[in-house]
Amino acid sequence: MQAPEAQAAGKPRTVPVWRALPRALRDAHQSLVDVGNEAGGEVVRLGLGVSSPYLVTHPDHVQQVLQERAANYLRGDDTALWRSVRQLVGDGILSEGDTWRNSRRTLAPLFRPARINPLVDTMAEAIDGATGRLDKAAEAGTVVDIGAELSRLVCAAIMRVFFANRLGVDDALRIMAAQESIVTAMAPRLLAPVVPWWVPMPGDRRFHRAVQTIDDILLPVLRKALDEPGSGDDVLSTLARARNDGQPLTERQMRDDLVSMVAVTTETSYVALTWLWPVLATHEDVAHRLYAEIEDVVGAGPVRADHLPQLTYTRMVLDELLRLFPAGWIVPRRAVGADVLGGVRIDKGSTVILSPYATHRMEAFWGSDAESFDPERFTPERVAARHRYAYYPFGLGIHRCLGEGLFQLEAQLIVATLVSKYRFTLTEPTVPGIRVAASLRPRRRVELTLTRRESAVAR
C-alpha cells in the first residue's frame, strides 16, 4: 500500500552511524528518547552500520503505523526481535494474516471483562494465600528479592485463569524462570539485528534450552487437556473444546497461543511491578497517598473485587509506572510497501521502529518534566486532553494486547494486597538502571526488607 503523497515525499533526516551507534551501545533506551526529543517527533533514520531503521515517535505517526495503515506495517521475521519471538512462540496470536485472525477470534472472548471479572475474588484469594513466604521473611527480617516474590504472586493469580488446577505453582515458576532466560538471552541479537539465525551468538544455547524447558512442562499438560477437556472455564480447557471452522485446534496451535499469552501476561505483570518499589522509595509523597488510599479502601484486607473501582489513585500510579517503564519498550515493524509518514518517504522493505519508552518520555508530548514520575498525568481531565496515541504500553490498533485488562486487575490486586499487609525498606533506595533485554528489566535485583503492618498482624 502506497500513500498518495509518496511521490512528493522527502528524505528523512539521518542520524549518522558515528553518532547513532555509540549512543545505542552505551544506552539503547535513552538514545531513542534523545533522538526523539532532538527531532521533535519527526521521523528520522538511525545509522546503525549495516542497518538504518526509521524511528517513529510522534503519536500521529504511531497511529498511522499501528492503526490506520497497519496492513502495510507487519511484524515480519526480518527483525531481531520478531525472529527471536518466532523461535519461542511459533505461529499464532503473535503472527500475522489468517493465522493471527484465527487465534484472535479464539482467544479474544477468553479475556473479555465478562469472563475475567468473575474470577477476581478467586485471584485475590490466590494472591493473599501466596504471601506466606513474605510473612516469614517479615518476621525474620530477611532481605527478599521482590522481583522473584512478585513472580510467585503472579503465578498464583494468572495460572488459575489459564490452567485451573492442571499446572502447579512450582511448574509455573519454572516457566517464568525460562522466560527470564529467554528475554535476557535475546540481548546480543537485539544489539546485532542483522546477524542471521544460522550464525551462532552468545545466549543462543540458553535461549533454546529455555524454550525446551517450557515445552517439556506445557506439552504433557496440553495433551492431557485435549484428551480430557472437561467443562472448566480456564483458558486451556476452553481451547481444548474450541473449534476453528468446525475443526478442533491442533496441538501446535494451542501450544503457540498458550505460550504467547502466558508469556505476555506474566512478563508484563511482574516486570512492571518490580519497578514500583524503587519508585515509591524515591517519591514519598506518592507512596503516602497510595498507602492512604489502600488503607481507606481495603484496610487490613483481604482485597476483594468490589474494592478495585475505589482504588483510583492506585490505578493512576500503575498507569504512570507503565508510562515510564513499559515492558515492551520497542516495537519493530516492516513496511511491505512504500509509504509516507510525516512527509518522509518510507521505502518498501524498510524496518520501522516504534518505542513506547521513547514516546512516553518525550517533552513534546508530556512536558518539560516528562521523565519525572507523576500519577496526576492520569486524571480523567488530563487523559482526555492528551493525544490518544501518546500512551501505548500495551500496543494499539489491531494488535493491542489481549491481556491488558487482566494486567490491570491483577496488578491492583497484588499492590493492594502487599500494601495492606506490609511496609517496605529497600536495601538500595534508588531506581535501578535498565538492562538490555527484550523487555524493560532492572539492571540489578530490587531487594528489600518487610515489616508487617500492625492491623495486618491481627488478621
In this structure, the strands spanning 351-354 and 54-56 are: parallel
- Asked whether the beta carbons of 157 and 200 are under 8 A apart, the reply is no
Q: Which of 21-25, 354-358, 437-441 has the lowest mean pLDDT?
A: 21-25
Domains annotated for the chain, with CATH where assigned, are: 6-457 (1.10.630.10)
Q: What pLDDT, on the 0 to 100 scale, is given for residue 136?
A: 94
Overall average pLDDT of the 165-189 stretch? 79
Q: What pLDDT, on the 0 to 100 scale, is given for residue 6?
A: 43
User: What is the tens place of the pLDDT at every residue in 309-349?
Assistant: 999 999 999 999 999 999 888 888 999 999 999 999 999 99
Q: Quick check: 133 pLDDT over 60?
A: yes
Provide, rounded to the nearest whole percent, the portion of the chain with pLDDT above 90: 45
Overall average pLDDT of the 161-184 stretch? 82
Please write down the HEC assignment for all residues of the chain: CCCCCHHHCECCEEECHHHHHHHHHHCHHHHHHHHHHHHCCCCEEECCCCCCCEEECCHHHHHHHHHHCHHHEECCCCCHHHHHHHHHHCCCCCCCHHHHHHHHHHHHHHHCHHHHHHHHHHHHHHHHHCCHHHHHHHHHCCCEEHHHHHHHHHHHHHHHHHHCCCCCHHHHHHHHHHHHHHHHHCHHHHHCCCCCCCCCCCCHHHHHHHHHHHHHHHHHHHHHHHHCCCCCCCHHHHHHHCEECCEECCHHHHHHHHHHHHHHHHHHHHHHHHHHHHHHHHCHHHHHHHHHHHHHHCCCCCCCHHHHHHCHHHHHHHHHHHHHCCCCCCEEEEECCCEEECCEEECCCCEEEECHHHHHCCHHHHCCCCCCCCHHHHCHHHHHHCCHHHCCCCCCHHHCCCCHHHHHHHHHHHHHHHHHHEEEEECCCCCCCEECCCCCEECCCCEEEEEECHHHHCC
Helices 284-297 and 251-282 pack at an angle, to 10 degrees, of: 110
- Neighbouring-strand partners of residue 434: 442
Matching residue, cell 498464583? 156
Cα separation of 335 and 348, whole Å? 5
Q: Quick check: 95 pLDDT over 90?
A: no
User: What is the tens place of the pLDDT at every residue in 22-37?
Assistant: 677 778 889 899 999 9
Q: Which of 84-98, 228-242, 268-282, 289-303 has the lowest mean pLDDT?
A: 84-98
Q: What is the pTM of this model?
A: 0.87
- What is the chain's Cα-based Rg? 22
Residue 342, C-alpha cell as written in the block: 510525516
Q: What pLDDT, on the 0 to 100 scale, is given for residue 194?
A: 56
Q: What pLDDT, on the 0 to 100 scale, is given for residue 356?
A: 96
Between 377 and 49, the higher pLDDT residue: 377
CA 418 to centroid of chain Cα atoms: 21
Question: Band of the pLDDT at 76, cuts 50, 70, 90?
Answer: low
Total Cβ atoms within 10 A of residue 141: 9
Residue 311, C-alpha cell as written in the block: 482504588
Residue 127, C-alpha cell as written in the block: 494472591
Residue 425, C-alpha cell as written in the block: 525498606
Q: What pLDDT, on the 0 to 100 scale, is given for residue 261?
A: 80
State the sign of the Cα–Cα–Cα–Cα dihedral 232, 235, 236, 239: positive
